[in-house]
Homo-oligomer: A and B are copies of this chain.
Amino acid sequence: MTDPIQNTRILLASRPDGEPTADNFRIEHVPVPEPAEGEVLLRTIYLSLDPYMRGRMNDAKSYAAPVELGAVMEGGTVAEVVESRDPSLVPGDIVLSHLGWQAYGVLPAGQVRKLDPSRAPVSTAVGVLGMPGFTAYAGLLEIGRPQPGETVVVAAAAGPVGSAVGQIARIKGARAVGIAGGAQKVAWLEELGFDVALDHRSPTFKDDLKAAVPDGIDVYFENVGGHVWDAVLPRLNTYARVPVCGLVAHYNDTELPPGPDRAPRLMQTILTKSLTVRGFIQNEFVKTHYKAFQADAAGWIADGSLRHKEDIVQGLENAPEAFFGMLKGKNFGKLLVQVGDDPTR
């Protein structure tokens, strides 16, 4: 009997009060359990870092249960099968899995999906061909429903969701206006073919946006909130659609404005412009749209109309810092942590 493999894992040590810090996490080294019948032992290659994880650190009721204190932080992973006790998988197989922030893990074989490295780089399974790409696809097409010639505005446009939203909008014949932070991201959006790319840090941002949407905004894909939303709201057209996918500008808010939720200004705008404001999580659309997404996205990637960028940080121990940076918009492209070697590259 061999010695058990040593695992490194990052646990949620305490709940953040506002901006999360290194103190909220704890790193530990423990032996990996043996897989039981029907299970596989996995070695993490890539850990996906995504804004939703900030919500999981809170003890608040949301669409998913919070991560418990002392538990491994949650997260999607691309991993290699090290040992299999299920006939469906063999060592060396690469799988999409949800191991969380750890270097190894054991899962039932039924909870992982085998990837074909010859079809696309395996890292895209947590990016443009995975949850972020699907979020863009389902939210834009099912809620935003852009028509040819309409104007689609997306915030956090250089992120994995936003960049897909803008490109899919253009594929569907709409104008795409992307909003991002900093000249480098703006330049990349222009390279991707966005009709206009704007820097929300510019002192003239509000006027820039107004000038960029002479016919108003028909779809605003909301990833951000904050001052971008303030600038967008007066520009929305009658019957505009607002898929609400994220509000990263508010995830670290400790003080919400005092008083109740009634939001009379926003509600009056919703009323007088016949707006549709619709929150969503991609899970809702998996059954109905995931197959079509896989087919469409593969085609668009193949013909060059859907491009993506990855921002890869080396080493699991650097995951917390990378995560903090992402909440401030410091990543440029899909943020991944390379936890172990990628045998397919």
Contacts and interface: CB of A to CB of B under 8 A. Distances in A.
A295 interface: no
A264 interface: yes
Given A247-B268, A259-B257, A63 B229 contact: no
Give this chain's copy count.
2
**Residue among A250, A259, A284 having the largest count of chain B Cβ atoms under 10 Å:** A250
Contacts of A227: 260, 262
A278 B271 CA distance: 7
B247 A257 contact: no
Is chain A's interface secondary structure helix, strand, loop, or mixed overall?
mixed
A83 to B, nearest CB: 39
Interface string A201-244: 00000000000000000000010011101100100001100001
Given A256-B265, A264-B253, A271 B247 contact: yes
Given A225-B264, A268-B247, A278 B279 contact: no
Contact of A263 (B61, B245, B265): B265
A152 to B, nearest CB: 19
A276 interface: yes
A230 to B, nearest CB: 4
Interface in A266-285: 266-281, 284
A279 B284 contact: no
Nearest to A63: B272
A261 interface: yes
**Residue among A63, A233, A272, A276 having the largest count of chain B Cβ atoms under 10 Å:** A272
A269 B278 contact: no
A344 interface: no
A159 interface: no
A163 B45 CA distance: 60
B265 A257 contact: yes
Contacts of A257: 257, 259, 264-265
A262 B280 CA distance: 18
A154 B270 CA distance: 18
Interface string A292-303: 000000000000
A225 B267 contact: yes
The list of the 3 closest CB pairs from A to B, nearest first, reads A263-B263, A230-B260, A263-B266
